[in-house]
Structure 1
Amino acid sequence: MSYEFEFGEVFAYWPELVAGAAHTLVLSTLAMAIGMVVAVLGALAKTSGPAWLRWLVDAYIELIRNTPFLIQIFVIFFGLPSIGLRLEPDSAALLALVVNVGAYGIEIIRAGIESIDGGQIEAGKSLGMKPLQIFRYVVLKPAIQAIYPSLTSQFILLMLNSSVCSAIAASELTAAAGDIQSRNFRSFEVYLVVTGIYFILSCLLWGAFAGIEHAFLRRPSRR
């Protein structure tokens, strides 16, 4: 049995592929930005909040980290309408991604906060630094340096996981691939091309993150 590859029938829909890739990046970026706000608030609550709030944050983290992302999307998109809250596919996808990345981000940021040696903060106080100066020069950069690799990895995973949002017809790359496949019936070629696009997006993001780290987060060399 022979199979003839017809990639031309896939690339004929290149505007839809480009639009799908752009939607994926926008959706992932928005989810990561909002999710980091959730993560910072959750990390602060977990490290310095009252016991009942720490318990709620822990319950949220364990619930999200121990359930499939697809189920989380279905609960939001198909479950919330039963209590009167109906969301459009793109809004439901964004909410699901935020809820998911927020749970992982809390633990990453908490680790960054706890990695700062208390002695460094005390040294800053002894030098007469103000609280804002201590946060900016003593806490912020070392904490970001500690968690930056984990945050960038989480962003890449978030971008890749956004493909699951095609299950509720959200506007992103995998959904665009499904639409193209339904018209040309070239499943192998379509998804092979989409795999390559995801790979290219991941490599570009890794390169961008590495450049940011090199430019702004380099640790001083020791002699």
Structure 2
Amino acid sequence: MTYQFDFSALLPYWPEFLQGVWLTVQLSALSTVLGFVLGTFCAIGRASGPPWVQRIVGVYVETIRNTPLLVQVFLVYFGIATLGIRIPANAAAVIALVVNVGAYTCEIVRAGIESVHKAQLEAAECLGMSRAQIYWYVILRPAIERVYPALTSQYVLLMLASSITSQISAEELTAVANRIQSDTFRSFETYIAVGLLYIVLSFLVRGLLWAFGQLVFTRRRRLGTAL
């Protein structure tokens, strides 16, 4: 039995593919920004917060890192609904992705914070810098600069993982592909096209994050250090 490829059957659906790509980009971008903020605050709390904050953040991080993203998506979408609160699938997808990537961001940023030598903190205190100035200029900025490559990889993985939200009918790229293949009966061609689109998106996201790093981390740009 031979299989005849026919990608022409997908041509009428290109606007839907583009809509799926656009929603994937939106979900990924919003989740990346909010997840970074959540993860950074959690990292600060776990690294130098009071013991009760460290315990709470530790439970959150370990819970998220040891459960599948799909289960987390279901818990957010169906769990909130059981409380009588109806939220759109796209909003539930963002919440689940933010909670998930926030835990991983927390551990990555915490590693960067712990890499800052204590002598630098002592020097900053001797210069009379305030606690806020020390955290921003001496701890956070150098820490994030050091772990930025790891953060970049994590956010590319987040973009790819957003495909899981198709299970709650979020109309991102994979959900669009599922609908198109059921209409055309061209599953092989559909998922080949979607795979290629994800590859393009991955390179695009990585390129944008690299450019952002070059803009923000001027010291690395001067030294020519790869991000």
TM over 0.5: yes
1:79-115: CA deviation from partner (whole Å, max 9, x where unpaired): 2222223321111111110110111111111111111
The code of the aligned residue for 2:88 comes to E
Residue matched to 2:80:
80
Instruction: Give the 3-state SS of the residue equivalent to 2:87 in structure 1.
Output: coil
- C-alpha change, 1:213 and 1:126, in structure 2 (3 Å) is same
Partners of 2:44 and 2:110 within 8 A in 1: yes
Q: Which residue of structure 2 aligns with residue 187 of structure 1? A: 187
Aligned to 2:118: 118
Task: Tell me which amino acid in the other structure corresponds to 2:63.
Answer: L
Post-superposition Cα deviations, 1:175-217, rounded to whole Å, max 9, x if no partner, equal 1111211211111000100000000110122222233334442
Distance across 1 between alignment mates of 2:45 and 2:209: 28
* 1:57 corresponding residue in structure 2: 57
- CA 1:152–1:41 in 2, change beyond 3 Å: closer, same or farther? same
Q: Could you say if the C-alpha distance between residues 132 and 45 of structure 1 is closer, same or farther in structure 2, counting changes exceeding 3 Å?
A: closer
Q: Displacement, 1:136?
A: 4.7
Identity %: 47
Distance in 1, matches of 2:186 and 2:113, equals 50
CA contact (8 A) 2:112 2:143 kept: yes
Shift of 1:3: 1.2
Instruction: Work out the CA distance in 2 between the residues paired with 1:135 and 1:62.
Output: 25
TM-score (norm 2): 0.89
**Distance of 1:19 and 1:54 partners within structure 2:** 41
**In 2, distance between residues paired with 1:169 and 1:80?**
16
Relative to structure 2, which stretch is displaced further, 210-219 or 35-44?
210-219
SS of the residue corresponding to residue 170 of structure 2 reads coil
TM-score calculated relative to the size of structure 1: 0.91
Aligned Cα root-mean-square deviation (Å): 2.0
The residue aligned with 2:7 is 7
Deviations 1:136-186 (A, max 9, x none): 543343212211011111110100000000001102110111121121111
Partner of 1:154: 154
Q: Structure 1: which 5+ runs fail to align?
A: none
Which moved further from structure 2: 177-186 or 140-149? 140-149
Answering whether residue 36 of structure 2 is matched by residue 36 of structure 1, we say yes
What is the one-letter code of the residue matched to 2:207? G
Consecutive unaligned residues in structure 2, runs of 5 or more: none
Which secondary structure does the structure 1 equivalent of 2:41 belong to? helix
**Structure 2: distance between partners of 1:215 and 1:199:** 24
Q: Supply the distance in 1 between the matched residues of 2:212 and 2:44 (Cα, whole angstroms).
A: 26
Residue 194 and residue 81 in structure 1: after superposition, are their counterparts in 2 closer, same or farther (change >3 A)?
same
Q: Secondary structure at the match of 1:12?
A: helix
For residues 30-74 of structure 1, the C-alpha deviation after alignment (integer angstroms, 9 at most, x for no partner) is 111111221122112212222222111111111111111111111
- 3-state SS in 1 of match to 2:86: coil
Q: Does 1:22 align with 2:22?
A: yes
CA contact (8 A) 2:214 2:221 kept: no
* Amino acid corresponding to residue 112 of structure 1 in structure 2: G
Which residue does 2:71 correspond to in 1?
71
